[in-house]
Structure 1
């Protein structure tokens, strides 16, 4: 379990760094104020980027259980953990409703 947390943290850190690099190269390739050779080099470097630096590689996981199937994107918890927290009253302003 600890291994998945560290692996996920490392993946997110590398994606963040590569995303910044990708953004800079993209802006250089679009900007017409740079020389043509500089823009072509930026486009060439963009084509060499691997898919590991993509956001789609990351998967959202629950903070407590590392479950990724029932992940709730607004709370970073899985559905079951979120319901337990609401029932116990640890999340203020929310309670389980029934009608």
Structure 2
């Protein structure tokens, strides 16, 4: 599981390096007011970029267990780890509610 977390982290670092170039080419290819040659060249350069640049390839994973299902976005942990941390009073200001 740690291998998947490292792989996802590597993808995110690669995306951050190429994000500026990707957004510029994307906006040039979508702009209808430019000359068609500029749009075409921007589209060709955009398709030449690796597919890893697309931000849809990322999966949000728990930083403790590397699970990808039901992630708490505020704390970046899965729901099981979040409940365990709350039960043991590791997160300040939260307390598990008992009925």
Q: Same fold (TM over 0.5)?
A: yes
Q: TM bucket by the smaller chain?
A: 0.7 to 0.9
TM-score, length basis structure 1 = 0.77
Count of residues in Structure 1 that have an aligned counterpart in Structure 2: 98
The Cα RMSD (Å) is: 2.3
- Aligned position for 2:42: 42
Contact 2:68 2:78 in 1 (8 A): yes
Further displaced range: 3-12 or 45-54: 45-54
Task: Give the unaligned 5+ runs of structure 1.
Answer: none
Task: Give the unaligned 5+ runs of structure 2.
Answer: none
- Aligned position for 1:20: 20
SS at match of 1:42: helix
Q: CA deviation at 1:19?
A: 2.8
Q: CA deviation at 1:79?
A: 0.8
Matches within 5 A, 1:1-99: 1-29=1-29, 30=31, 32=33, 37-99=37-99
Q: CA deviation at 1:40?
A: 2.7
TM-score, length basis structure 2 = 0.77
Rounded Cα–Cα distance in structure 2 between residues aligned with 1:71 and 1:10: 20
Rounded Cα–Cα distance in structure 2 between residues aligned with 1:14 and 1:31: 29
Rounded Cα–Cα distance in structure 1 between residues aligned with 2:9 and 2:47: 26
Rounded Cα–Cα distance in structure 2 between residues aligned with 1:48 and 1:79: 39
